[in-house]
């Protein structure tokens, strides 16, 4: 069974990278700053990124 996580306040994706290297699947990431989110998306092409204020997420 593969464990899954979401990465909030994700920055450019260092935490996601660590989880992926340990066999986790990162389902979703959230970053407020659009330019930083763009860097994340270049590093993690298969993870869904939601750009915006975390308080507006509809999870």
pLDDT given for residue 56 in this prediction: 83
Please check whether residue 49 lies inside any domain of the structure: yes
pLDDT given for residue 16 in this prediction: 98
C-alpha–C-alpha distance, residues 19 and 8, integer Å = 13
Please check whether residue 59 lies inside any domain of the structure: no
Please check whether residue 27 lies inside any domain of the structure: yes
Please check whether residue 28 lies inside any domain of the structure: yes
The number of distinct structural domains making up the chain is 1
Residue-by-residue DSSP string for 6-40 = EEES-TTSHHHHHHHHTT-EEEEEEES-HHHHHHH
Please check whether residue 22 lies inside any domain of the structure: yes
Cα maximum dimension of the chain: 34
Range of the domain at 35: 4-54
Question: What b/e sequence results for 20-42 when a residue is b if at least 16 CB atoms lie within 10 Å of its CB, and e otherwise?
Answer: beeeeebebbbbeeeeebeebbe
pLDDT 10s digits, 1-36:
889 999 999 999 999 999 999 999 999 999 999 999
Please check whether residue 23 lies inside any domain of the structure: yes
pTM of the model: 0.87
């Amino acid at each position: 069974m593969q464990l899954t996580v979401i990465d909030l306040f994700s920055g450019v994706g260092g935490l996601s990278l660590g989880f992926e290297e340990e066999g986790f699947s990162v389902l979703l990431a959230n970053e407020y700053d659009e330019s930083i989110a763009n860097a994340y998306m270049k590093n993690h092409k298969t993870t869904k990124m939601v750009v915006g204020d975390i308080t507006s997420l509809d999870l």
